[in-house]
């Protein structure tokens, strides 16, 4: 999951980025509207967390841009404005949530996770397959499978979005630190490892290649 943090208070954006990185989110950080627009134009975000008052304009201008790029991107506005009209304005502009400063970090994270529809636990259970992202463990029929690093993250991302086809670009944005600096080939390598290290020995199939469109989680078949 990739989050763009737009906040001109440098200590605050550092704290936000560090806290979110610790929770395994990929983050990009910027301090101005202009830089935020640039990031939105080159990368896909699951969520944009933006301050309202930025040195070169209003963060709420990013709502329309982020939604236009991808309607799935959630936008959460942070603001020192504590009047109800500002909150209503942000929500009317399309913000998914509005958080007043000062805020409690744990509450902010809980609200971000609610936006990203995580629910109470990160553990993904699909019949006899259990994926635990926090512990980087996969258990199949009670036996642990050795799959770590990027292949593990690719599998987790696809399992989490198993109702949809996920493109290579979306996988790169969600999982790689600097998606522009790697070739899409790294996805094929990761998928291959999932098939070799997990599917083959277990005689199951977890990921289907959808020609020209990407990949889809397909375990159990027909589900």
Q: Is position 89 an interface residue for Ca ion (rule: CB under 5 A)?
A: no
CA distances from 61 to 8, 16, 52 (A): 15, 21, 9
Choose the stretch contacting Ca ion; rule: CB under 5 A; options: 46-54, 124-132, 172-180, 204-212. Answer: 46-54
Assess contact for 60 and 36: CB atoms under 8 A: no
Please report where in the chains the tokens 């990949």 appear, as a residue.
Answer: 215
CA proximity to 76, closest of 55, 100, 56: 100
Q: What angle do CA 7, 54, 173 make, to 5 degrees?
A: 45
Q: How far is the CB of 10 from Ca ion (least distance, A)?
A: 11
Q: Is position 31 an interface residue for Ca ion (rule: CB under 5 A)?
A: no
At 84 the three-state DSSP class reads: helix
Q: Is position 173 an interface residue for Ca ion (rule: CB under 5 A)?
A: no
Q: Which is nearer to Ca ion, 53 or 114 (CB)?
A: 53
Kindly tell me which residue out of 10, 53, 88, 110 binds Ca ion, with binding defined by CB under 5 A.
Answer: 53
Q: Which is nearer to Ca ion, 42 or 53 (CB)?
A: 53
Choose the stretch contacting Ca ion; rule: CB under 5 A; options: 33-41, 47-55, 122-130, 131-139. Answer: 47-55
Q: How far is the CB of 53 from Ca ion (least distance, A)?
A: 4
Q: Is position 8 an interface residue for Ca ion (rule: CB under 5 A)?
A: yes
Q: Within 10 A of 185 (CB to CB), how many other CB atoms are there?
A: 9
Q: CA 209 to CA 223: how far, in whole Å?
A: 16
Q: How far is the CB of 219 from Ca ion (least distance, A)?
A: 45
Phi-psi region of 11 (alpha: psi -120 to 50; beta: other; left: phi over 0): alpha
Please count the residues of the chain. Answer: 223
- H or E segment to which residue 129 belongs: strand 129-132
Q: Which is nearer to Ca ion, 53 or 189 (CB)?
A: 53
Choose the stretch contacting Ca ion; rule: CB under 5 A; options: 48-56, 67-75, 97-105, 204-212. Answer: 48-56
Task: Give the count of residues interacting with Ca ion (CB under 5 A).
Answer: 3
Q: Is position 208 an interface residue for Ca ion (rule: CB under 5 A)?
A: no
Kindly tell me which residue out of 28, 46, 51, 173 binds Ca ion, with binding defined by CB under 5 A.
Answer: 51
Q: Which residues bind Ca ion (CB under 5 A)?
A: 8, 51, 53
């Amino acid at each position: 999951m990739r989050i763009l943090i737009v906040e001109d208070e440098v200590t605050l954006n550092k704290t936000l980025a560090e806290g979110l990185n610790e929770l395994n989110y990929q983050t990009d950080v910027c301090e101005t509207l202009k830089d935020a627009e640039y990031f939105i134009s080159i990368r896909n975000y699951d969520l944009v967390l933006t301050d309202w008052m930025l040195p070169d304009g209003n963060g709420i201008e990013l709502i329309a841009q982020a939604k236009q790029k991808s309607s799935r991107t959630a936008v959460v506005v942070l603001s020192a404005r504590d009047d109800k009209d500002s909150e209503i304005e942000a929500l009317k502009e399309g913000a998914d949530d509005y958080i007043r400063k000062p805020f409690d970090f744990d509450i902010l994270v809980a609200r971000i996770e609610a936006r990203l529809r995580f629910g109470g636990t990160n553990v993904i259970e699909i019949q006899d397959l259990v994926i635990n992202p926090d512990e980087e463990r996969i258990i199949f029929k009670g036996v642990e499978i050795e799959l770590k690093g990027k292949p593990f993250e690719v599998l987790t991302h696809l399992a989490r979005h198993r109702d949809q086809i996920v493109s290579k670009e979306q996988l790169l944005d969600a999982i790689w630190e600097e998606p522009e600096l790697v070739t899409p080939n790294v996805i094929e390598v990761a998928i291959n490892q999932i098939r070799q290290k997990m599917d083959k020995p277990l005689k199951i199939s977890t990921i289907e290649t959808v020609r020209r469109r990407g990949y889809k989680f397909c375990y159990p078949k027909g589900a």
